Amino acid sequence: MTDSVEAKAANTEFETILYQTPAPRVARIVVNKPEKRNAQSYRMLYELNQAFDRAAQDKDISVIVVAAAGPDFSSGHDLRDPDRMKAFEDFDTVGTWAGFEGSGVEGRWVIEKEMYLGLSERWRNIPKPTIAQVQGRCFAGGMQLIWPCDLIIAADDASFRINAMELGVACAEFFHEPWELGTRKAKEILFTGDVFSAQEAHRLGMVNQVVPAAELEAYTLGMAARIAEKQLFALRLAKEVVNAAEDRQGRKDTLLLGFAYHHLSHAYNQENFGMAADPTILKKYGKR
């Protein structure tokens, strides 16, 4: 994102994101913590949710673009977030689970069911087309922001990584790998934690288009503008029926199983090592 575009922010009510309307019938939500590589705090996730709600409910918006300031799209979750629990006081929750202060498995389960699984699934089902505009690194929890989007446009310098295995954890909270990568590549990426390029992601079907980094913003906005010319009701129905096709193939059941196995991994590590991650694996990979 360029300084000139960032200067077009429509308001200053958010602390961690920008909300823009860069073209007729197009809203753009910009993750705006480049100094932290756009690591996602709880506040950021809830502010993203508020921005998604605003765009979804605005009758003058047909397409939503999700972008990020700085060289990297997102480094994942902000594990050093100092105000993690305060977010539950400052924002309305999207689910009905409670007990965020619970100890052990209970607290971790309900927090992540709300913050990661709950929000990502909610964004997937927004009844308007959404486009992720991705540059630089998009690692770990960053995938949980782009995978719920309908389209992904990547710069040619974009790279992706799913490194749950390096924590001794089977998979991340929003288990979408088989649907994004295909089953064999999903296993490879999960087992190895290797970085894969925008070009590889395009070949696998996870990314719609790869464009030169200097053209990413203009290309994404151009596609959003073309889509926004279409009838919104028809767009909503087309999105819903494609999503339904995935769900009828078992996506939603597998999503919930992946979430359960994520937490089973945490519980196993807690029981065996006294922490939610495997320290022997962390020691080996912690500096990567």
Distances (CA, A) of 81 to 42, 258, 269, 282: 7, 25, 22, 20
Q: Give dist(CA 214, CA 193) in Å, integer.
A: 28
pTM of the model as a whole: 0.91
Q: Which residue range(s) make up the domain with 271?
A: 3-285
DSSP H helical ranges for 210-250: 216-228, 232-248
The per-residue pLDDT string of the chain (288 residues; one tens digit each, 9 = 90 and over) reads 543 334 333 445 899 999 999 999 999 999 999 999 999 999 999 999 999 999 999 999 999 999 999 999 999 999 787 777 777 888 888 888 777 877 888 888 998 999 999 999 999 999 999 999 999 999 999 999 999 999 999 999 999 999 999 999 999 999 999 999 999 999 999 999 999 999 999 999 999 999 999 999 999 999 999 999 999 999 999 999 999 999 999 999 999 999 999 999 999 999 999 999 999 887 776 544
Helix, coil or strand: residue 262: helix
Any idea what the CATH number is for the domain that residue 218 is in?
3.90.226.10
- Strand segments (E) across 140-279: 151-155, 159-161, 196-197, 209-211
Q: In the chain, how many domains are there? A: 1
Whether 123 and 144 have beta carbons less than 8 Å apart is answered as: no
pLDDT at 113: 92
